[in-house]
Each structure stands twice: as C-alpha cells, then as structure tokens.
Amino acid sequence: MGVSVALSATEPSPFTSRGVPGALGVMVSVIVALLAGPLAGVVVALVGGLAFAILVADTELGGFVAAGVWALSALLSGMIADRFRAAGRERDVAHAAERHARQAAESESQRLSNLQALTARLATASTVPEVGDALVDSVTSALGATAAGIARLSADGREFVTIVARGFAPGLIERWSRFPVDTPVILADALSRRSVVTVSDAAEALERYPMLATLGPEYPLGAQAAAPLLAGETILGVIGINFDRARRFTPEDEALLLAIGRQCGQAIERARLFEAERRGRERALRLRELASALAAASTPGEIADIASDRVYPLLGGRTGIVGAVSMDGEAIELVSEEGFGSEGAESIERIPLSSGRPEAEVVRTDGPLFLGSPEAMRSRYPDVGQPEGGDQAWAGVPLRASGGTIGVLSVSYAEAQTFEDREIGELETVADQLALALERSMLQRSRDEAVRLEARVERVKAVSEAMNPKLGVYEVATAILAEAAEALGAAAGGLGTVTADGRNFEFMSTVGVVEGTAARVPVETRGPNTDAFRTGKVVRIEHAEDWRREYPKGSPLLGADAEAVLGVPISAAGRRIGAIGLRFDRERSFSPDELRFVGALAEEAGEALERARLFEAEQRALKRAARLQDVTARLSRAVTTEDAARAILRAATGGGGGEAAAIALADDEGRSLRVIPGQMSRGTLRLRPPFDLPVTDHGALAHVYRSGRAQWVESEAAWTDRFAEDLETLRVLGTCMYAVPIVARGEPIGALAVFFGEGSPEPSSQDAELIRSFAQQAGVALERARTYEVEHEAAVTLQRNLMPEHLAPEPRVEVVSRYLPATRGVHVGGDWYDLVDRPDGAVALAVGDIAGHGLPAAAAMGQVRSAWRALALSSSDPAAILGSLDRFAAGVEGAFFSTILTMLFDPSTNELRYASAGHPPALVIDADRTSHLLEGGRSVPLGLTFDLPRPQALEVLMPGAVLVLYTDGLIERRDESLDEGLRRLGDAGVRVAGAPLAEVADALLGLVAEDRHDDVALLAVGPKLPAEVFRRIFPADAEQLAAMRSELRAWLDRSGLSPETKEDVVLACTEAAANAIEHAYIGRDGDIRVVGESENGWLKIEVSDDGRWRDPRPDDSRGRGLDLVRTLIGDIDVERGERGTTVRMRVGVT
Amino acid sequence: MTGRELATFEFEPRERATVVRIRGEVDLSNAERLHDELSSRVGEAPWLVLDLSGCDYLDSAGLSVIVMIHARSRARGVRLRIVVPTSAATVDRVLAITGMDGVLQVDRSIDEALALVDAAG
C-alpha cells in the first residue's frame, strides 16, 4: 500500500506549505498502493501529484517532480506490497492447503480411529446385537448419521430381518422388522450390487426410491447410504444409514462404509459362530445334565418332571409330548406334555395307535417324522399344529428300547425349521435317553409289581399252610377273596363253589356286594363266576362296553354295571370246584403278573377249600358216628317207651340235627298213632304234649308210617301241597321235615320225623342214613320197651294193688316205708313189706323178697304176703309163722326160695320177737347213737325145710330206738361182699341216729347204688311221737312272715316230712298267711293264727284270721298265690265266713 | 325281726349287662322294695341278669315282681335272664310249679348267663 501524504501547505513556510502536502501526498499514494495495489497507488499519486503540482506548486517543476515522486513511491510500495501480498497469499494458500491437508489427515485419522474403534468393539462383540450396537454407534459418530440399522438375510435369502435399528421411530422399526429383499429401498440396491449405495439428499432419495414417500413423516428423509455386510465373499445382509439432511458422500465415506460393512459382516459371522459355539457348548452341557438326570429317574413321574425342566427347553419347541406305549400296546399314554393347557392335555392323555395324530404314526412306523414347514404340516396333518397356535414345524422321534418302540417324543416349533443333522441328532440323543429312562421305569414298575404280587402269593401260601385245617370253608374263602380283591383293587367280588349235587353255585364269601344278593344260583346262570367255573377259562373283561355286550343282564352277584371284570376258575385235585369273580369300577387291563397272581390264589383256594371240605366232611362223619353211638348207648339203657322216645328225640335233634323231632308210635291195634314231639330249647330237650293221630290221617307222619317210605318235605308250600291237612302242632316244629318209618321185626311200628328251619337243604345222603339208623335203633328199643312196659305195667299194677304206697297211718308206732324199684331190667315184683296191728296191741312186721321177677314173682309175693298177714294176726310165734309159710310157699309157684323176716313188737314192753328165713338182719339204731344188727333167729329161705323147727330170737328195744327192716337190694353191691354192705348200713344208721324217721329212711336209701338190679324195700319203725302242736299268733304284718317261716321249719323238721314236702308246706303257709295279711284287715289291725298238728301220720295246718276278705282280683298276685298253694298241697280247704277265713291243709307224713 | 335284712340286693353294673344278686328270702315284706330297685335299673344295659343263686325263699310275691320286671324288660328291649341253680331248690320249685320256667329265660349258673351276654356281641 502506498501511502502518499499530501501535506497541504499553509502559508507560513514554503516547506510547510509545500513540504507537508508533498509528504502527505506521498503517504497517501503509498497507502493507497499498499491497500489497493500499485496501480491504484500510482494513479492516486499521479493525480494527486498533478493536483499538487498545479495547485500547490504552481506548476513548478518541483511539483511535477513531487508528483512523480509520489507516483514512484506509490508504485514501489504497491509493488512491494503486492509482492508481500502475493507472498502472503501464497503463504495463505499454503496454509490453507496445509490446513486442508491437516484436516483431511485428521478426518482420515478420525476415520481410521473410528474404524479402529469399531474394529476394537467388534472384536469384543460376541453377539449380533452387540455388533449392531457397535456399528450404529460408530456410524452415527463417524458420519453424523441420524439413524442406522442392520438387516440380515433370512435363511432362505428372501427376506431381510432387522437385527439392529437406532434412531428410527419404534413403529417404523416394527413394521420393517422383516421385509422382502426385493423391496425397492436402498438396502436392496446395496444387496444386489454388493456395493455401497448412497443418496445425497431427500430429493434424490425420493426420486430413486419413490416408496419412501409412503413411509410417512416419521421417516428421516435426507441423505442415505447403504453398505453390504460381507464376510469374505458371502453377503450376510446390509447396513443402512439415514441422515436428516443432505450430505455429500466422498469416496472416502464410501470406502469407510464398505470397510465398516466388511468389518461388521465378519464380526457378525464371528458372533454367530461364537453364539453357535456357545449354544452348542450349552446344549452339550444340557444334554449331559439331561443324561445324568434321566439316568437317576426311576418312575414315569420323575421322567415327566425332567421333561418339563430340561427336555422341552433344550429342544426349544413351543409344545412337546413324551408318551409311552400302553401295556396293551394299543395306545400311547401321556407321560408328560408342555404347552397344551389343561384341555389340550386331556385330549392327548391317551392317543390310540390307530388315530391320525403324527405321534401315532411315529410309533406305528417306528420311524422319526420331521415336518419343517407349515406346508409340510398342513399337507400331512391338517389338524395338527393349526389349532395349537399356528406352529410352523413339528418333529417326532420314537423312543426305542430293547423291547422295541416303547414311546414317542414330539416337539412342535413356532418357526419353520430346517431339520439338519445337528437338530436331528439332538432329538435322537434326547429320545435315546428318554427311552432308556422310560424303559427302566417301566421295568422297575413291573418288577416292583411282580415283587409285590410275588410277596402276596407267598403270604397267601404261608397263611394257607399255617391255616389251621380246622378252619372252615367259609373262613378260607373269605381270606382268599379278601387278598385277591385288595391286591387288584377290586370294588366287589365273590368266591363260590359248586354244591355237592352239582346243580348250584354257592357263594362262600362276598365283598362289596349289595345285601340280599342271592347266595346261591343255578350253575347255568350267566355270570363271571359261574362262567369261569363251567368253562374252566378265565373271564376277562377290560372295558365297560365289552361287559355290556357279554353280560347284557349283568351278573347275579356282581351286579348290572361294571367297568372291568375278572373271573378265575378254582380247581382242586384236577376237578373244577368253583371260581373267584372280581368287579372293578374303572376300565383297566390285567397285566400278566396280575393274572398269574390271581391264578396262584385260585390254586391256593382250591387246595385250602378241598382240605377244609375234607376236614369238615370228616368232622361230620365223626359227629354222625358219635351220635349213633350215643343213641345206641342211651337206647340200650332205655327201659320205658318214654325213655326210648326221649333218647331218640334227643339224638335226632342234638349235635347239629334238626331243631325239633317227633316220634309217632302206633298203638297195639294199629289204629292210631301217638305222636311225641320234642324240641331243643336252650340245650335241653323238652318234650311237648303228646297227641294222637288216626292212622288214616292224611298228614305226612301217618303217610310215612303207612307207606313205609321216607319222605322229605322241603318247604311250607310243599307241605301245604301234599299234606294240607297236617296238624299245626306238627308244623310248628319246623318248616321242613324229613321223616322215616320205624320198623321192628319187619313191621312198621311208627315213624320218626326230624324238623328243620325254613330254607334248609335236603339232608345229605349221610345225614339221611344217620336218621334211618336212628329209626332202626328206635325200632329195636321201642319194641323192647313195649315188652317191658307191658310186663312192667302188669307187675306194677299188681304190686300196687298188693302193696299200697302208703301204709295206713299207724297209731302205735311211727312207721316210714320206702320202696325203690330196680332200675335195670324187668326185675320187678319180688320185694314186699307189711305191718299189722293186732288186737292184743302188738304190732307184727315183716319184710320179704320173692326170688325171681316179673309177673309170677309179683303173684307169688301177693300170696305170701296175704298168708303172712293171716298168720301174723293170730300167731305170736315168729318161728311158727315161718313154719306155716314154708308149707304154704311149697304150694305157690315162685315162692320157693323166697326170704322173709317176720317180727312181733310189743310197744308196752318194747319186746321184739323175730325170725328170719334167709333174709338180711334188721338194723337197730339206738338213741345213744349206736347201731347193731339183729342177727338171731336165722334160718334158710322158705320152701326148703319142712317140719324142722325154725329158730327165733328176742330183743328188747331201748326207748327211742329205731328198727329198720329192708331187702337185700339196700346192701348189695356188685363189687363188694355182703358184710361190707352191712357194715356200711350200720355206719349210716349211726350217722342219722336221732333224726326224724323219714330222714333216717332217706339216708339209708341213699346207700343204694344208682344202678341196681334189685328192688329195695325198707321199713323204718320208731317210737310214736307225742302229737306235737305248732301254734303261732302274730299281727297281720308282712314283716312277721319270715319269723313264722323259721319257726314252722323247726317244727316241721321233727315231723318226718321229706325236705321237699317241708318246703312246700312252708310255702303254702306263707302264701295263705300273706293272703290273710293282704285281704283280711283292710284299714285296721288284726292277727293271723297258724296252728299245726301232726297226727296219725298226717300233718294238719290251719291258717286263719278274723277279718272280712275282699275277693281277689283276677290279676292280683294273691290269686296266683292261692293257685300255688293248691298245687303244692293237694288237700286244701278254704272256709270263708263273715267272721274270718280259715285255710286248712293236710299232708301225709309217710 | 332282728336288725338283719331279710334279703340283700346287690347290683353290679357291667358294660353290657346289669347283674343283680338277690340273697336271702323274698316275701311280701320286701317284694315291693325289690320291685322298685329292679325296675329303676331296667334299661341301664342291654341285658339284665337276676342271680337268684343265693335266694333261699321265693313265693308268689317275689314271683310277681319277677313277672313285672320281665314285662318291663321286654317293653324296653332289655333282655332278662334269671339264674336259678338247682341248689336254689325253692325258687326252682316255684318256677316249675307255676310254669314260669317256660316263660322266663332261666340259666343254671351265672357263668352260663354271662357267656350268653358276651356271645350276643
């Protein structure tokens, strides 16, 4: 710049007037030259100079020189300035270039470092998202992008799948998560060209990709760039970058993008590989874990848990199924499922192998099935997959174990799959492990089951062996049925056997059946039990529909409805004897183990039942034998018809026989039957009142008697049918009757009927045989009894007529007589005693024993006795009496060798004269408690000596002495000598010395053996007691009764009454007194009087009061009391009057 | 009468049966007392056992009581058993004469009666 300073001269100095402007002019020119260039400076200088020269310098040369100076300096300075400026400009340019270069270098290094940073990040990026993040960050920072994303190619190369997107609106990202590769966007271009594609601004973008206009305002319209993701030569996808403004993309940018694309591609590739590797490692680990978990699993439940925890997650499907082939091999049973929900799970609980599901096909074909795409699925299994949420792929693999295909594993996927070796291999590995575990669990289960059943069989065996053979068939049946039902979980069941006649099937034990179910059905009835028995084959029903088909009417025991049923026959010793039937309330199949088990039980049952049955049969046979023995023994002891009848009735009803029995006996003319019924009650046989039937009666018993054939009437109906007119008395004994005829000596003499309760079965052949045996025995015994009875009756009649039971009351001596007939045999009639009061005051006594028995003996006895009476009345010489009797006896048949003891007693002197013809000595019991035998005057029995004098003896009895005459039946015992018997008699006499006469007589009688062949006659004579009187008066108060009784007892003790009669008297008196107490004095006091007198062998008692009695009311207990008195004391007389009532009673003392 | 009771009635309530032991003599003077004591105990247990083993005397007064208790027991569903051993001669005789031995349930010993009670289950 040249500055020229032109100094305007002021007048004062020339210098100043010229110099200053001149300097100024130079300055200004120079400045101008400097500023505007030399040319400008020169111009200014010249102009200025001229101006100066002219104006200031007055056109002096100096002024022009100054102007020239000015121009020159301007030129110079301008040129210098220019040079400087140029240099400066050069420097500036250089600087600028330098700056540019530096900037370029910087941005290059920035790019490089960005790239490096990206590379570094990518190196550490192990997942695709990390790669994506790294890229987007880098791109946005390096290039200033607003938004960026990465899309990878789908497996089939037909779609872009966005893996990272930043800076875009979320809605946009979603919409563009997946789109076809031919979508007209920049990314597609980059893909197809395999190079970076850029767009500098929005306009260009819209022009090239019109579709962008449809994206809406959210889409950042501006510059765009896209670069391929390359890994080696493989294009994996594209990167897309958006700017919100225009941008120019330099080649470096493009190079950078490409580089980024490559880096990313590699990184993605690496990440994928890493991921795959990691997943692979993880899968390997999980497979190992799965293997060890499955190895430990022992039940299907555990396997199911492991499937849920590990298998399905490992396989990554949406749904999964593990199924096991059922035991019957007809369906797949669900072990575990995933993703089906409860309803879906139910529908696949049991997949029949015949179904159309792919799992069934896998099992059927024993091969895996892979459906990788929806099309494949739809084409083959249109029903599978779609309802389950639109699965895209499905895989099914059979589970194979040593036994073949035992199950199936299936998985469905949300995405289409390519089933490559790796996936298939994995599925098969998992399947193998599942198969092993499943097989193990099934084996374990069936082993456990087998062990369990085995243990049960063992137990049953042990139990049945230990079973007391005495256990009855019912116990055995119950035990076995219970075992079977429990082991198999049956809801109901029964065990039955065929009856002996083979016609019916009887249930020995039932469980879980309705009350009242028939216990016995005909063997032809259709039912699992009866069918199994008849056919000998197992009846096996596993489904309700099979049951309905086979048994539309149900079964008599098990009912109408059943879900599953099992019937197993029972055999013993090669013979079918029954069956076990079980009903289940759930459909089920029967495993071979279970069938074996039930079969084993059936065998046990057969053996045990047979054993029990044999034992029972044995017991019954023993019992029958015992009964027969018993009746035989009893009958042999039976003497009278009643004895025999009792024995038979007892035998027929005792020990398991019928509840009642009846004997019918025809009378002598054979015109009527006397029926004696007997009924067992409380263990004793009670005979019911006998009744008569005409022999022509239409009833069952008479029928049997007439026809001579046994008859079985099995029910009320049958009875009414055939013997409508039978008496109720017969039918009350029982509803069923078995009657047999009783035959003696070839002729029917009656009938024996045994009665049973309703519903009883016909007696078995053995039982019928037994009854017939009874009847046979009965025939024999009854015949014998009748004979005896006929004879006996005659003899007894005779005897009674000849020898009254009670001797007439004796005024001079106390006399007590006793007569005991023989218990055995028909030995009756020989013994006798008698007593005669003589006019001279003496008493003649005799006791005798006619040898022999039966009627002849009785007749002889009568004659001898009469003879003695006649002789005793007149003769005072016992020996002479004997002598006369000797002669007499010679003439009486049967009197020969009879014995007699005859005595004459004078009560005034106590002298006793006696003589014995072969008869046991009389006993004297003294008041001082000693006894002795009167052994004098002994001679031989009657009929042996004639005209030979017989001896006699004299004895003076002490006061209070008791004399006892008896026959040898009293002292004779089979196993001891007569002397011993006599001694016993003497001892007994001493023991009862001082006791009332009756007591003495009874005590001595007690010596007699129970079982005796001989009759016993006894006469006890003692001093006449003064008539003793009992008198008591007491207030009419019940409290007084006890004292009355005890005093009365004391008085009666001395009376010679038997203990029973004494008690009867006490009872009667108390009743009479109680009556008087209750009725005599109502509302007032009074006394009761009891007076007792013993006279002439009679005891008389009077109970009297002074009151006015009410009549006893019918239901009054007093009425009962009076009846009791009448029963006790035959001889009673009640006198009622206005002034009192007297009850008089009389009993005989002897 | 001395201070001693004519008869004692001992009650032994068991789980399933009330056992009553009557010792001594029962006549008009104490029959009513027996009736009152017995009838209040009908229903205590499913069984009522009257043990007359120690009863020395029983006439129509005592018998009426037994008959009434019998009827009451039946009405209440109580099972009545009378124990009369053969040694209790008077009681035995009275029951036989009046035919009550066919109506009442008679056992010959207390053991027999109790066995029946146990067996009835």
What A447-454 contacts at long range (C-beta under 8 Å, 24+ apart), as own/partner pairs, is A449/A591, A449/A593, A449/A594, A450/A593, A452/A487, A453/A487, A453/A593, A453/A594, A453/A596, A453/A597
Hey, are the CB atoms on B1 and A1127 less than 8 Å from each other? no
Yes or no, beta carbons of B90 and A1060 under 8 Å apart: no
Q: Degrees (nearest 5) of the Cα angle A602, A503, A731?
A: 120
**Residue A1032 has which token pair?**
């008591």
Q: How many CB atoms lie within 10 A of CB A93?
A: 11
> How close A1128 gets to chain B, by Cα (Å)?
8
Q: What is the Cα–Cα distance from A985 to A1004, expressed in whole angstroms?
A: 7
3-state secondary structure A963-989: EEEECHHHCCCCCCCHHHHHHHHHHHH
Q: Which of A1039, A1071, A1123 sits opposite B29 (nearest CB)?
A: A1039
Contact A1074 B57 (CB under 8 A): no
CATH architecture classification, B8-120: 2-Layer Sandwich (3.30)
Give the separation between CA A173 and CA A136, rounded to whole angstroms.
Answer: 14
For A395-436, the three-class secondary structure string (H helix, E strand, C coil) is EEEEEEECCEEEEEEEEEECCCCCCCHHHHHHHHHHHHHHHH
The residue behind tokens 């029982």 is A734
Closest CA to A541 of A579, A584, A570, A512: A584
DSSP alpha helix (H) spans, A125-185: 128-143, 170-175
Q: How far is CA A703 from CA A658, A707, A720, A774, A783, in A?
A: 20, 6, 14, 19, 21
Nearest-angstrom CA–CA distance, A1060 and B28: 22
Please give the pLDDT value at position A901: 96
**Nearest by Cα to A1061 from A1052, A1048, A1070:** A1052
The distance of A1077 to chain B (nearest Cα, Å) reads: 9
Per-position b or e across A547-567, b if 16+ CB within 10 A of its CB: beeebeeebbbbbeebbbbbb
Residues in chain A closer than 8 A to B90 (CB atoms): 1063, 1067
Q: Are A907 and A812 spatial neighbours (Cβ–Cβ below 8 Å)? A: yes
How many Cα atoms occupy the beta-carbon half-sphere of A273 within 13 Å? 7
CA A411 – CA A311 distance, rounded (Å): 10
State the CB neighbour count (10 A cutoff) for residue B111.
Answer: 10
Contact A1039 B94 (CB under 8 A): no
Q: Select the residue of B6, B60, B61 nearest A1042 (Cβ to Cβ).
A: B6
Per-residue pLDDT tens over the stretch A1110-1139: 655 544 555 667 777 887 887 888 888 878
- A1120: which chain B residues are within 8 Å (Cβ-Cβ)? 60, 63-64, 98
| Unique residue bearing structure tokens 């008896």 | A966
Q: How far is A697 from chain B (nearest CA, A)?
A: 31
Structure tokens at A350: 């049991």
State the amino acid at position A669 in one-letter form: E
Report the 10 Å Cβ neighbour count for A630.
15
Burial class of A649 by CB neighbour count within 10 A (0 to 12, 13 to 18, 19+): buried
Answer for the pair A4, A73: CB distance below 8 angstroms, yes or no.
Answer: yes
Delimit the domains of chain B by residue range. Answer: 8-120
Q: Which residues from chain A sit within 8 angstroms of residue B94, using beta carbons?
A: 1067, 1124
Tokens of A766: 């053995």
Count of A–B CB contacts within 8 Å? 65
Quote the distance between the C-alpha of residue A898 and its chain's center. 83
Among A682, A1059, A1074, select the one facing B61 at the smallest CB separation.
A1074
Minimum distance, in Å, between the CA of residue B54 and any CA atom of chain A: 16
A1039-1082 pLDDT per residue, tens: 889 999 988 988 888 777 778 888 889 999 999 999 888 888 87
Category of A956 on φ-ψ map: left (φ > 0), alpha (ψ -120 to 50) or beta: beta
Please, are residues A809 and A776 in contact by the beta-carbon 8 Å criterion? Answer: no
> Which tokens is A1124 given?
């009791």
- Closest of A277, A272, A271, A266 to residue A422, by C-alpha: A277
CA distance A1126 to A1122: 6
Query: DSSP per residue over A932-964, as a string?
Result: EEE--SEEPPTTS-SSPPPP-EEEEPPTT-EEE
Strands A911-917, A938-939: pairing kind: parallel
DSSP calls for A1007-1057:
TS-SS-SS-EEEEEEEEPPPPPEEEEEEES-GGGHHHHHHHHHHHHHTTT-
Q: Quick one: pLDDT at residue A245?
A: 82
User: Cα angle vertex A1108, ends A1102, A1114, to 5°?
Assistant: 90
List of chain B residues whose C-beta atoms are within 8 Å of the C-beta of residue A1063: 89-90, 93
A-chain residue closest to B95, CA distance = A1124
Of A1043, A1123, A1127, Cβ closest to residue B1: A1043
Query: Which pLDDT belongs to residue A471?
Result: 63
* Contact assessment for residue A398 and residue A358, using Cβ atoms and an 8 Å cutoff: no
User: For chain A (length 1150 residues), average pLDDT per consecutive 10?
Assistant: 42 62 78 81 80 73 76 81 77 79 75 76 78 79 82 84 83 83 86 88 84 78 87 86 84 84 82 78 82 82 83 83 83 86 79 84 86 77 56 86 84 82 84 85 76 74 62 78 86 88 85 77 88 90 86 82 89 87 86 83 82 76 78 75 80 74 83 84 75 80 85 75 64 80 85 83 81 85 76 62 53 77 60 86 90 74 87 91 88 84 89 94 90 93 81 90 91 83 90 83 81 79 73 88 90 79 89 87 84 81 83 56 78 83 82
Compute the nearest-CA separation of A1044 from chain B (Å). 10
Interface of A with B (CB under 8 A): 682, 1037-1043, 1045, 1059-1060, 1063-1064, 1066-1067, 1070-1071, 1074, 1077-1078, 1117-1118, 1120-1121, 1123-1124, 1127-1128
CA B100 – CA B59 distance, rounded (Å): 12
Tokens, residue A519: 């216990």
- Residues of B with a Cβ under 8 Å from any A Cβ are 1, 6, 25, 27-29, 57, 59-61, 63-64, 89-90, 93-94, 97-98, 105
Q: Length of chain A in residues, anyone?
A: 1150
Stated as kind and residue range, the H or E segment containing A1127 is: helix A1117-1128
Measured CA to CA in angstroms, residue A162 lies from A148, A214, A239, A243, A245 at distances of: 11, 19, 10, 19, 24
Q: Which of A423, A415, A421, A422 is nearest to A393 (CA)?
A: A415
Chain B residues touching A1036 at Cβ < 8 A: none
